């Protein structure tokens, strides 16, 4: 059992008097930062801002041109960059200009997630203008501190747990501008330490950029091999199909028979290397498990949902107990398997190329175990994440309110069997890409750790440690 003893005179009754606010961890962080003569966040930025009271804009996303930053754009992205352009929701510039309650940020400003999954900070790295949704807030006009250092501090335990402490205890926990401004910021006295921590995030961004370019090269190699490098899907308003085709497909909706999907199928079937169905290339397509939100914990064994899955990494957000994990041990992923999403955002594939940590994937994720020697795991995962499979998924799940890719549809997905030298090239690029991501993650964690060492020990020790870890 944990408990804290707090002097009544130290409590602001107009602020918070709940026990959670005075947890020992929070009080320990506050004491250490006060000892280091840390200043409030508002001392380092001209404005702490957030959007509010603007009309619904979802119907404008299709014609939008201004990135509309949401929680999902920040949580796994300490740097917000142009690389995310395809995943941003966007609102029209005229709409943002008309509604002054939609706040804007520019290069060098910082976003902090506010609602849903709050407390994650990200810096606007190379985008000149973005708009803020209601789920995030922004720090503008940062001064007297390197904004890249500040982002690392806010992502370290001393920044993150302060933000976590300051969440309003409403039905949906959220941060307020006033409370965010109150958190304490430690700025090193040694300018070299601040500079090296800040540069770690800049170098992290450079490495991530190289990693994604290698991944895109692998995708381009795949599409080029099938003659689809410059292929653009075109939606046709009219076309003719035979009744026998509807009977064979057991579908009568027009979307399923769009010619663009047939173009993909034909490119696969005409490929000189051959093709097969996914179900014939894998030993098992195993559905994972749901545990229910009542089982979620703030720490423990990671419970991986579709939103935590990407082609590049698995992020953590929800956790379950060790006891529950032991009862679900059969769902623990193994090295060599591919995790594949089937619900909500179907078709996200992640290859587990090293011994995984303890985790349990949700029921919206499938575990694929490859056995066919005609294709390597890296190439298969690249194909699953490519337009070659993504278009087949759009065809299969079309017309559904909630996207759901059935296991039988997954197994019937057509996969080209790439020539050996193409597979080797893809494997080389994917392996190098993943190694760079591993390097970038180490760099990010080292920078956060250096902040913590400087606060808990001293700045010289932190600087020596960072030099040894990252050079």
404-422 pLDDT, tens digit each: 899 999 999 999 999 999 9
Q: Are 269 and 294 in contact (CB under 8 A)?
A: no
> Which residue did the predictor score with more confidence, 470 or 401?
470
* 149-163 CB burial, b ≥16 within 10 A, e <16: bbbbbbbbebbbbbb
Distances in whole angstroms, Cα of residue 394 to Cα of each of 233, 404, 413? 12, 10, 12
> Is the model's pLDDT at 177 over the cut of 90?
yes
Distance CA 270, CA 326 (A): 47
Q: Which residues contact 262 (CB under 8 A, 6 or more apart)?
A: none
- pLDDT-derived band at 13, boundaries 50, 70, 90: very low
Distances in whole angstroms, Cα of residue 145 to Cα of each of 33, 47, 178? 16, 15, 20
What is the reported pLDDT for 18? 64
> Is the model's pLDDT at 239 over the cut of 70?
no
* Percent of the chain's residues with pLDDT above 90: 78
What does the pLDDT average to over 46-59? 93
> Which residue did the predictor score with more confidence, 232 or 12?
232
> Which residue did the predictor score with more confidence, 173 or 29?
29
What is the reported pLDDT for 173? 75
> Which residue did the predictor score with more confidence, 252 or 176?
176
Write the Ramachandran bin of 13: left for phi over 0, alpha for psi from -120 to 50, otherwise beta: alpha
What does the pLDDT average to over 22-38? 93
> Is the model's pLDDT at 183 over the cut of 50?
yes
Least confident of 70-84, 257-271, 355-369, 439-453: 257-271
66-103 pLDDT per residue, tens: 999 999 999 999 999 999 998 999 999 999 999 999 99
Q: Tokens 């703030």 identify what position?
A: 298
Distances in whole angstroms, Cα of residue 101 to Cα of each of 49, 52, 132, 180? 10, 6, 10, 19
Q: Are 368 and 340 in contact (CB under 8 A)?
A: yes
Beta strands in 81-189 (DSSP E): 89-91, 104-105, 110-113, 121-124, 130-132, 136-142, 184-185
User: What radius of gyration, in Å, describes the C-alpha atoms of the chain?
Assistant: 25
Q: Are 54 and 100 in contact (CB under 8 A)?
A: no
Torsion angles phi and psi, residue 100, rounded to 5: -70, -15
Instruction: Tell me which H or E stretch contains 368.
Output: strand 365-370
What is the reported pLDDT for 170? 65
- Which of 21, 38, 240 has the alpha carbon at shortest distance from 145? 38
> Which residue did the predictor score with more confidence, 470 or 145?
145
What does the pLDDT average to over 39-60? 94
Global pTM reads: 0.86
Distance CA 167, CA 207 (A): 33
Strand partners, 368: 285, 338
Distance CA 413, CA 335 (A): 23
103-140 pLDDT per residue, tens: 999 999 999 999 988 999 999 999 999 999 999 999 99
What is the reported pLDDT for 1? 47
Write the Ramachandran bin of 3: left for phi over 0, alpha for psi from -120 to 50, otherwise beta: beta
Strand partners, 48: 139
Distance CA 163, CA 73 (A): 18
Distance CA 249, CA 256 (A): 9
> Which residue did the predictor score with more confidence, 311 or 231?
311
CA 68 to chain centre: 16
> Is the model's pLDDT at 380 over the cut of 70?
yes
What does the pLDDT average to over 375-395? 96
| Structure token digits, residue 115 | 């609602």
Q: Are 277 and 257 in contact (CB under 8 A)?
A: no
Average per-residue pLDDT in the chain?
Answer: 91
> Using N-to-C axis directions, what is the helix angle for 377-384 and 420-456, rounded to 10°?
80
CA 438 to chain centre: 15
């Amino acid at each position: 059992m944990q408990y804290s003893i707090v002097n009544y005179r130290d409590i602001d009754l107009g602020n918070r008097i709940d026990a959670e606010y005075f947890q020992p961890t929070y009080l320990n962080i506050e004491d250490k930062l006060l000892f280091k003569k840390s200043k409030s966040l508002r001392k380092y930025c001209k404005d702490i801002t957030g959007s509010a009271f603007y009309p619904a804009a979802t119907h404008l996303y299709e014609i939008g041109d201004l990135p509309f930053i949401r929680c999902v754009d920040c949580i796994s992205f300490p740097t917000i960059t142009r690389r995310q352009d395809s995943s941003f929701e966007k609102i029209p510039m005229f709409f943002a200009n008309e509604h002054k309650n939609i706040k804007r940020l520019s290069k060098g400003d910082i976003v902090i997630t506010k609602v849903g999954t709050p407390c994650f900070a990200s810096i606007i790295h190379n985008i000149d203008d973005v708009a803020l949704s209601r789920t995030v807030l922004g720090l503008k006009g940062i001064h007297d501190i390197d904004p890249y250092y500040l982002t690392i501090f806010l992502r370290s335990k001393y920044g993150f747990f302060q933000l976590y402490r300051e969440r309003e205890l409403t039905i949906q926990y959220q941060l307020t501008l006033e409370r965010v401004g109150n958190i304490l910021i430690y700025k090193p006295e040694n300018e070299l330490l601040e500079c090296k921590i800040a540069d770690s995030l800049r170098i992290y961004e450079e490495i991530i950029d190289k990693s994604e370019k290698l991944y895109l090269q692998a995708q381009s190699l795949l599409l080029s091999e099938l003659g689809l490098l410059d292929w653009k899907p075109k939606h046709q308003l009219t076309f003719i199909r035979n009744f026998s085709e509807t009977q064979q497909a057991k579908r009568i909706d027009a979307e399923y028979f769009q010619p663009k999907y047939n173009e993909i199928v034909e490119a696969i079937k005409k490929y000189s290397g051959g093709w097969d169905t996914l179900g014939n290339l894998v030993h098992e397509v195993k559905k994972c498990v749901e545990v229910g939100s009542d089982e979620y914990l703030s720490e423990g064994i990671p419970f991986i949902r579709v939103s935590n899955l990407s082609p590049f990494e698995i992020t953590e957000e929800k956790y379950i107990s060790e006891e529950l994990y032991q009862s679900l041990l059969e769902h623990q992923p193994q090295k060599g398997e591919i995790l594949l999403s089937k619900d909500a955002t179907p078709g996200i594939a992640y290859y587990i190329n090293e011994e995984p940590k303890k985790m349990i994937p949700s029921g919206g994720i499938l575990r694929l175990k490859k056995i066919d020697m005609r294709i390597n795991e890296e190439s298969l995962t690249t194909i699953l994440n490519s337009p070659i499979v993504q278009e087949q998924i759009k065809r299969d799940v079309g017309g559904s309110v909630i996207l759901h890719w059935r296991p039988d549809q997954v197994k019937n997905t057509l996969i080209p069997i790439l020539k050996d030298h193409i597979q080797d090239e893809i494997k080389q690029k994917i392996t190098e890409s993943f190694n760079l991501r591993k390097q970038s993650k180490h760099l990010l964690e080292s920078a956060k750790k250096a902040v913590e060492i400087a606060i808990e020990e001293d700045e010289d020790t932190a600087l020596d440690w960072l030099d040894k870890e990252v050079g």
